[in-house]
A and B are shown apart, each in its own frame.
Chain A
Amino acid sequence: MSLSRREFLGVSGAAVAAATLAPGLRLIDLATARSPEEAVSTLQRWGLLIDTNQCGTGCSACVTACNDENGLTSHGRPESDAQWIRTVTLKDKETGYAQTLPMMCQHCEEPPCVDVCPTGASFKRDDGIVLVDKHICIGCRYCMMACPYKARSFVHEDLTDQKPYAPRGKGTVESCTLCVHRVDKGQIPACVEACTADGGKAMLFGDIKDPNSEISQRLKSQPSKQIRADLNLNTGVRYQGL
């Protein structure tokens, strides 16, 4: 059976349409890092899996690494110092069992901070990283009140010597960026790197939309929890061992 000219054109047209889909959208995502001029896409969603069983008591390697990486220096006033990641100790009052876990922006799929922001400064990037555009932030701090994880900080004082890749300034709200400047280069966040180097291996970073990534495999095969799962925020940071 031979194709008529019309049938042939129809078939080849469909093939071309299927191959191109839309500009910037690929059926098979490349394994390589994104090029600098390419915009982030919704085909990826960055997430973290934290195994609290691996968190040593008193270990704060992730916190130190975060502070160093992003230039979070203390003014000696802990109440108002910025903190993007902190360690939280949970204690069972009945048994006395205590465990430590790192707590930071959970990079929700439905972030309450974005919902309440009056200026659009609080936003979710296409790859799931929740950020503050400090150019637009007016410092109203609604997002800080809306966040169930107490993950955001307000910069109260003038700053100097910021890192070139992590601009920060007085009068704006900030929080964990999942080290977006590193992720854009194809690296992992500073906290994860420090945790891995420390031998703790409590933190795993990866693309939770990629079914072949280690984080997806582990989320699929092992139990994990969202903190405040009742809020239906679908957090990008998941915990094990809670």
Chain B
Amino acid sequence: MLNSNPMLHRTAWLVSVLAAGGLFAAAITGSAHADADHATKKISRVAQPTIIIEKEGECVEPEDVMKRDHMKFILHQRDKTVHQGVRTEKYSLKNCVNCHANSKTNSVLGKDGFCASCHSYAAVSIDCFSCHTATGEKTAANQDKATVDAKSPEQLGQMVTTVPAIKQAPASTGKAP
């Protein structure tokens, strides 16, 4: 009788395997959750990065791309600028700094600095700013932008995100320049 319906036999076997797999996966994710909770409690002595984005609008690339590849863009642009005199604004470090400089300190460094905050959390030391200035240019155009983009403290508060997203972001594939 059993031999007469091998399909049924196979289906039952598949279902049992899938169920076992499901249980196993659930167990793993559960323990991972527990690990994550444990980890957040444990690492509280390391300040979480605060990413303050004050200016509206899109960055030069989508956010996830920038998180992963910003160093590649800057490195590529750097060589083209120095050696070939290509001075497009899009991927230039100057453009990064002008746009992301903190409105209070006019800098990307310091405790809440756009660059410094994340890089100190990730323990990646960048030496861009031993030569390049970390302060935004005070051009007329920039100042106009700054005044238009200046937000009330409440609005600013909403835009401040504490970023556990760093953990989700895939590990950087490129070597730091």
Binding site for B on A (CB under 8 A): 34, 36-40, 123, 125-127, 131, 133-135, 158-159, 161-165, 167-170, 172, 180-181, 184-185
CB distance from B116 to the nearest CB of A (A): 15
- B residues near A125, Cβ cutoff 8 Å: 83-85
A selection of 12 A-B contacts at a CB cut-off of 8 Å is A34-B85, A36-B88, A36-B89, A39-B84, A39-B85, A39-B86, A127-B85, A135-B177, A159-B131, A162-B131, A162-B132, A163-B133
**A38: contacting residue among B86, B94, B133, CB under 8 A:** B86
Cβ B133 vs Cβ A161 within 8 A = yes
B87 at the A interface (CB under 8 A): yes
Query: Which residues of chain B from 60 to 74 have a CB within 8 Å of any chain A CB?
Result: none
CB distance from B84 to the nearest CB of A (A): 4
Known: A133-B82, A135-B78. A167 touches B133 (CB 8 A): yes
- A residues near B84, Cβ cutoff 8 Å: 39-40, 125-126
B112 at the A interface (CB under 8 A): no
CB distance from A169 to the nearest CB of B (A): 3
Cβ A165 vs Cβ B94 within 8 A = yes
How would residues 123 to 146 of chain B score, 1 for a CB under 8 Å from any chain A CB and 0 otherwise?
A: 000000011110101000000000
B97 at the A interface (CB under 8 A): yes
Cβ A169 vs Cβ B130 within 8 A = yes
**A37: contacting residue among B86, B131, B137, B177, CB under 8 A:** B86
| Extra pairs beyond A131-B82, A159-B130 (9, CB < 8 Å) | A36-B89, A39-B86, A40-B84, A133-B83, A135-B82, A163-B133, A164-B94, A165-B94, A181-B87
Known: A39-B84, A135-B82. A158 touches B89 (CB 8 A): no
Cβ B131 vs Cβ A167 within 8 A = yes
Known: A164-B94, A164-B97, A164-B137. A134 touches B86 (CB 8 A): no
